[in-house]
Structure 1
């Protein structure tokens, strides 16, 4: 929905909300180029977050060409902005798309072929020049109008990259399936999930944001308090892991990453009744 509001601000320039934000945040620019600014409101910051999704589906339709930058703006169909594949143009005077259009409202083929790579030049020459002003469209819809459904798809892939690009901690499906199927309180499962993602408020992490907080473990005062140190390596915590029936898990406690230890615990359970009980017990002890 934030991206949809951003779409309205970018395309409906005569609307009251567009005029309001333009006067406050981008008086001499456009919504797509606007910056956060000083003392900006929560609503404005939220709109700029929504703009990240919007930018991935925009396409300029060329009319006069005086509003579209050659390198930075997306105006070639099924292609990224030119700047992502060609860093510079031999003729440094070329900045706006209208400089590539001749007096007959046709593409200047000589200028294009001498300044762009062959593939890009071919795509430019295949781009339609319309009558009237340049207009912003949504490339993911045939109508050219933004829709929440296609925006959601972009946002999903933006925040959920392909499995092969994820960290190793996210690829161990067996570990996560075993965690969420444990017969214990939901808050314990969530705690382990946070620990595996290094998301606990241990001093090591807090010190990076608030330097007045010491990063040393308050219990042993011997090492930095990381998730792994707090739950496993600290000698006070380690005393717990020396007790039966979880003492056999001590052999995997040398790792510096908690999720690797937890993965070992899960894979050692072998789906036996006792193994499952040990996993639950380990989760509770954490």
Structure 2
């Protein structure tokens, strides 16, 4: 559940790794702020003459120190030096060839000045809980990836595409979570329960002939086949896909089949196939209607904006542009007023001319 969605998880934080990142933050304070009261107290009690990273956890250590010791995993530059020389073998083993060559060009100080602490996973070198958590997650992913490489698998790209396709499906979130459980063998069918607990029987209660796997429960059982034959989903060839769940997840009927199975398993009630299909279609129709209302709401706003723009344009088209010009005579006590009206095309519609006497 803590893995990324693209890697088959749900995107939740890994609480164990997050706790380690929080503990490491406290250790970072101990080494970068030695003048704090808590730093002085812990140093005096647990590592008075050593570094915090070389300290041991005594049997009578407090719960706080036992917890902090879990965040004291740190790599030091001094580990790469032997007899005032770079340990070439260890450097080339730890870093890639290009970085290792650059490290070997760095001169080693002979003054033995006390070094400073730098967090490599943050640009400013300062440790943060966020960067620490990301580093822990990356390390865990690399370990998992290494085990896959040792097993000889190379399906990361295909698996990522499968999960992306799942989350992009135009179905309800409840259906996506149901499919997610199926892909992780998370549905408590009889075969899964028996393989984990060795209790009960793995045989399907519906047909009594085969083990109740997820594929059998959703596709292969003869009671389920009756449902699929009545469903408005193409039946031909679906039995050939029964061993590859990732290829037939798009139908919404699986959730209703699962509900009917649970009703039979725990309430001992059989549900007619047409009732299951009717319920599945009803759920799908409700989802479609909800999407239509959502789309209709968006389209209504767009329509209102378009109508408003058309109305403004129409008002401009039906309106007239009035121009007024006045002129006063210097020789006579009169003033002339001229008014012209044109449409949006600039065509003259009307003209008025007035002469008024001024006092």
In the superposition, the TM-score normalised over structure 1's length comes to 0.51
Number of equivalences: 207
Aligned match of 1:177: 168
Which secondary structure does the structure 1 equivalent of 2:118 belong to?
strand
**Cα distance change of structure 1 residues 170 and 231 upon mapping to structure 2, 3 Å threshold:** farther
Tell me which residue corresponds to 2:30.
Answer: 12
Alignment pair present for 1:234 and 2:221: yes
Q: Find the partner of 2:106 among 126, 134, 158.
A: 126
List per-residue Cα deviations over 1:179-217 (Å, max 9, x = no partner): xx22x5x43332122213332222333334323354333
Q: Which moved more, 1:120-129 or 1:215-224?
A: 120-129
SS at match of 2:188: coil
**Distance change >3 Å, CA 175–CA 117, structure 1 → 2:** closer
Structure 1: state its 5+ residue gaps: 24-28, 36-40, 71-96, 102-106, 267-278
1:219 to 193, 203, 206: 206
Question: Distance between the aligned counterparts of 1:34 and 1:229, measured in 2?
Answer: 55
- Residue correspondence of structure 1 range 180-259 to structure 2 within 5 A: 181-182=170-171, 186-246=173-233, 248-254=234-240, 255-259=242-246
User: 1:135 and 1:121, CA in 2 relative to 1: closer, same or farther beyond 3 A?
Assistant: same
SS at match of 2:131: helix
8 A contact 2:217–2:224 mirrored in 1: yes
1:166 aligns with 2:146: no
What 5-or-longer segments of structure 2 have no aligned partner?
1-17, 58-62, 146-153, 259-359
What is the aligned partner in structure 1 of residue 128 from structure 2?
Answer: 147
Indicate the structure whose relative CO is greater, using CA pairs within 8 Å and at least 6 residues apart: 1
The alpha-carbon distance between structure 1 residues 232 and 136, as it changes in their structure 2 partners (threshold 3 A), is: farther
SS of alignment partner, residue 242 of structure 1 = helix
Contact 1:241 1:249 (8 Å CA) reproduced: yes
Work out which of the two has the higher radius of gyration on C-alpha atoms and give 1 or 2: 2
Secondary structure, in 3 states, of the residue corresponding to 2:230? coil
Cα distance in 2 for partners of 1:197, 1:152 equals 25
C-alpha distance in structure 2 between counterparts of 1:59 and 1:115, whole Å: 13
Instruction: Show the 5 A alignment for 1:72-111.
Output: 97=81, 99-101=82-84, 107=85
**Conserved? CA contact 1:188–1:283, under 8 Å:** yes
| Greater per-residue strand proportion | 2
Distance 1:149 1:115 in 2: 30
- Structure 1 residues 253-285: Cα deviation after superposition (integer angstroms, max 9, x where no partner): 2331222222xxx4xxxxxxxxxxxx3445544
- Which stretch of structure 1 is more off in the superposition, 248-257 or 152-161? 152-161
> How far is 1:117 from its partner?
5.7
Taking only aligned residues, the RMSD between alpha carbons, in angstroms, comes to 4.9
- How far the C-alpha of 1:171 sits from its partner, in A, is 0.7
Deviation string 1:232-265 (CA, Å, 9 cap, x unpaired) is 222222222122423x235222331222222xxx
Contact 1:195-1:259 within 8 A present in 2 as well: no
Alignment match, 1:272: none
Partners of 1:59 and 1:138 within 8 A in 2: no
Measured in 2, the distance between the counterparts of 1:45 and 1:233 equals 51
Cα shift at 1:4: 3.1
> What residue is the counterpart of 1:271 in the other structure?
none
1:32: how far off?
10
